[in-house]
Amino acid sequence: MITKTIGIIGGMYKQQHIKKIEEKYAVKVISNDGRSVRKKALLNIANQVDCLVIVRKFCGHEAMYGAKEAANNTDTPIIFPLETNMDKIIQSGMAALI
């Protein structure tokens, strides 16, 4: 039973790993590698998710600022964890939703 959707901007995660995380935490994960700075794409992701997680080590400044603007436009919570581990990223996103 998937209840929440978390968007991850930054990093390239394998689809197999994302599926395991989705099953483990009962969330849906939408990811973007952070290299795309198209505001329309970031706004589309922000509209689909309950929380936006920006992985700072793997995300460019333009994508980061674009995601922040998209989150503000859609009233989506946004967090910037230091971790790069997928489990820690999802846990941070879940904590932001509580």
pLDDT in tens, 49-66: 999 999 999 988 899 999
Regions in the chain scoring below 70 on pLDDT: 1, 36
Q: How far apart are CA 50 and CA 97, in angstroms?
A: 8
How much is the pLDDT for 1? Answer: 65
Q: Is 34 strand, coil or helix? A: coil
Could you give the CA distance from residue 6 to residue 24 in angstroms, rounded to a whole number? Answer: 14
d(CA 94, CA 91) in angstroms, rounded, equals 5
Q: Does the global pTM surpass 0.85?
A: yes
Cβ proximity of 14 and 50 under 8 Å? no
> Do 66 and 74 touch, CB atoms closer than 8 A?
no
